[in-house]
A and B are shown apart, each in its own frame.
Chain A
Amino acid sequence: MASFTASSVSFSAVSCSFKQNKVSSLGKASLSFSGNGSPSRRLPALRFRVSCAAKPETVNKVVDIVRKQLALPADRDVSGESKFATLGADSLDTVEIVMGLEEEFGISVEEESAQSITTVQDAADLIEKLLEKK
């Protein structure tokens, strides 16, 4: 399992407007890429985004939910960049994915926010934003 180095953590902490306590919790939280060890899983590319990039675990959970909802074969690659539409999700699937995310993370997604989700990464980022607010 790969793990993020401290320097990349602090970089991402700086680029996101995380509060102090969040940064420290990031430090405490497992920074390792705690996937299921599935061979199809790969590290999401570290991006120099202006917006906050979600933790890999979050992305993974989103990927799991998406896989389940769309009944995707194991050899079908799903990552942060994957677009729901390209994976074969229709509007009903997308709503159900959002519902699944709400249940999994104990959050409530506003309809306006849900509208902007087109990729797995979008979903993961939104989840983290909502978790941060809690």
Chain B
Amino acid sequence: MDIKSMKNYLYWLYCQFELITCSYLMEPWEKLLFYTFNITMLVMVLYMAYIFVPVHITMAFQFFLHLFGNQHENTVSIVK
């Protein structure tokens, strides 16, 4: 039962997406083009996030530690 209501909810969410971006009105090949473009963009953004965000977070963490601490971690070694 939960799976069915979950599926219905996801289908309803998909319908809302279609209505807001007006892909409800598009012909099938236009929909294909639009979704391909969107999914490509989304995948690229997620991949960039996966590669760069951990590095940025560790660097920021060390910067703030250096700013507020200034202790024995002067010679900090960067983990590759």
The yes or no verdict on A and B being binding partners is no
Chain A contact residues, CB within 8 Å of chain B: none
